[in-house]
Amino acid sequence: MISWMQKHNKYLVWTIWIATIAFIGAGFVGWGSYNFGSKASAIAKVGSIEIKQEALNMAYQNLYRQYNQALQGQLDDKKAKELGLVQQAFAQVEVQAKILNFAKDAGIIVSDAELAAYLEKIPAFQKEGRFSKTIYKSYLSQQRLKAKSFEARLREDLIVQKVFSLLNSKALPLEVDAVQAAMLISDSLLYKTLSSNDINLTVQDADLKAYWQKHKENYMTPTAYTLAIVWTPTKDTEVTEQEVEAFYKTNSFNYTDKEGKVLTLKEAKEAVTRDTKLKKTKKRAQKAYIAFKKGKTQASETITLNENDARLTPEIWALIVESTPDTLLKPKAVKDQYATIKLVKVQPSRVMRFEEAKTLVTQAYLRYMKKEKLFALADEALKQLSKENAKEEKSITLEHPSNLVGLNVEENREFTQKLFTLSKEKGIITIKDKLVVYKITDQTLLSSDQNTTNRIAPSVTKLKHKIFETNFIQLLDSKYVTKTYRGGLKN
């Protein structure tokens, strides 16, 4: 799995099904949104297991939360699309489904006792260090979840953990010796670092149109919804300290830090006050809904939004996409106010005209052509590599990575790791969006001692786990085929 993470290094945090627990910690606060339709609908099938929309929603929102924290709250819907969060989230649930297929075939299960023990250890469901049924039931009620459904997801999480625990194996002495020998090899080499900056391209409309014609199904307009909305704000709703305290006591599990520890009322005061106001304003929102339904009040605004626009919550979008024109939705909370929404019109998704897609097509075309020309340039550079036209790097080992010009520290570490997995004297190594053309000019074996062996052994164990996990994922990829029912789930 570590190798899989490195291959998909755009992922900030690798989670297979920890979204269940992360959602408890986050209190379902609506980080991001992505919905195709009903939560119960299947969006894909992996082997014999269907992936439900709800699973993708949870994985997506968990990723959104992680990225948003890393970007200090600056993530929005546009940036999420640029980062490919939907595809990342689907990759997570897809791999999880493959693991569950394996577990099913192998007879790996989680007993009711194991599930109960795990559930009781979740901090958000504890009071004074002990599991509280009251908090647990209140949480399920608040989130409109059935215990059976929630615990089924939790059971899947435990099954995944159990499967990976079977791959744990300490390194054997022979394995330590073999890896130690590799780590003590020192290489010197000639190299050239190439990037897309070394490529100059002139783009013609004719080329862009030809590229668009081949790939136009990738350029679709989003489904748009015209909505008439009656807003019921809470800013003028007064709440007392006693009301805020009472609300917190009932709903404290919704207010946790990133480790899942329940925040004190003082720490969560702003959020608790907002939610208390929402609760107290609900009746006024319901009256506004009735008045709007009877035609006694007008919409606060009529707007057209693309599907999954971040201005509305995932819950609301799930209802909208299932609705037909003239459907009136009951009041739903959006940040610190309620929205009563009437669906006026739906504009279905369609293939973009070339003029509409030109900017996106140009970006994709440039990436494609630069990659093609960059590899051609690297092939030519490899044929002519010499001391006269290349740089030199000496004494590279796994413990002392290279310091190649044109690569940062992380990229140099990646280059070194890849270099020592290859048996070729010369070649081309891909480092993210760069290529390194290299030729080994000298190789020596350094001496070792017992301290070196002891120091290397833990790393060998990790490497062994990495190999097991990589091969395991490759096995699952070949054994369990994925069939998607929606577009845009994969890159």
CB proximity list for 478: less than 8 A, separation 6 or greater: none
- Regarding whether 278 and 164 lie in a shared domain, the answer is no
pLDDT in tens, 35-91: 444 445 788 999 999 998 888 888 888 888 888 878 877 887 778 888 888 899 899
Long-range contacts of 162-169 (CB under 8 A, 24+ apart): 162/103, 162/108, 162/110, 163/99, 163/102, 163/103, 163/108, 164/1, 164/99, 164/469, 166/108, 167/465, 167/468, 167/469, 167/472, 168/465, 169/461, 169/464, 169/465, 169/468
Q: Give the CATH number, domain containing residue 116.
A: 1.10.4030.10
Give the pLDDT score at 488: 79
Distance CA 85, CA 81 (A): 6
Q: pTM, whole model, 2 decimals? A: 0.52
Distance CA 169, CA 147 (A): 36
Last residue of a domain, one of 308, 330, 347: 347
- Regarding whether 195 and 55 lie in a shared domain, the answer is no
Last residue of a domain, one of 311, 326, 347: 347
Q: Judge whether residue 153 has pLDDT over 90.
A: no
- Regarding whether 387 and 340 lie in a shared domain, the answer is no
Residue 209 lies in a domain: no
Q: Is the backbone of residue 131 left (phi > 0), alpha (psi -120 to 50) or beta?
A: beta
Contact criterion met (CB below 8 Å) for 268 and 159: no
Residue 458 lies in a domain: no
Residue 176 lies in a domain: no
- Regarding whether 332 and 315 lie in a shared domain, the answer is yes
Q: Judge whether residue 445 has pLDDT over 90.
A: no
Question: Facing residues of 191 across strands?
Answer: 391, 438
Residue 457 lies in a domain: no
Give the pair of three-digit tokens for residue 138.
């209140």
pLDDT in tens, 420-442: 888 889 999 999 889 999 999 99
Overall average pLDDT of the 357-380 stretch: 94
Q: Judge whether residue 343 has pLDDT over 90.
A: yes
pLDDT in tens, 222-251: 999 999 999 999 999 999 999 999 998 888
Single-letter code of the amino acid located at 186: S
- Regarding whether 153 and 22 lie in a shared domain, the answer is yes
Query: Nearest 5°: phi and psi at 297?
Result: -140, 155
Last residue of a domain, one of 282, 316, 347: 347
Residue 376 lies in a domain: yes
- Regarding whether 246 and 328 lie in a shared domain, the answer is yes
Which of the two residues, 34 and 151, has the higher pLDDT score? 151
Domain count, the chain: 3
- Regarding whether 432 and 297 lie in a shared domain, the answer is no
Residue 284 lies in a domain: yes
Strands 49-52 and 42-46: what pairing? antiparallel
Query: pLDDT band for position 457 (50/70/90)?
Result: confident
- Regarding whether 15 and 164 lie in a shared domain, the answer is yes
| Range of lowest pLDDT (23-37, 207-221, 242-256, 446-460) | 23-37
- Regarding whether 162 and 26 lie in a shared domain, the answer is yes
- Regarding whether 76 and 148 lie in a shared domain, the answer is yes
In terms of average pLDDT, the best of 140-144, 262-266, 301-305 is: 301-305
Distance CA 299, CA 286 (A): 14
Our CA angle for 333, 145, 134, nearest 5°, is 100
- Regarding whether 369 and 272 lie in a shared domain, the answer is no
Residue 192 lies in a domain: yes
Which of the two residues, 104 and 74, has the higher pLDDT score? 104
Boundaries of domain holding 391: 185-204+353-446
Residue 451 lies in a domain: no
Give the pair of three-digit tokens for residue 252.
């404290």
- Regarding whether 17 and 59 lie in a shared domain, the answer is yes
Give the pLDDT score at 20: 53
Give the pLDDT score at 34: 46
Overall average pLDDT of the 333-352 stretch: 95
Q: Give the CATH number, domain containing residue 338.
A: 3.10.50
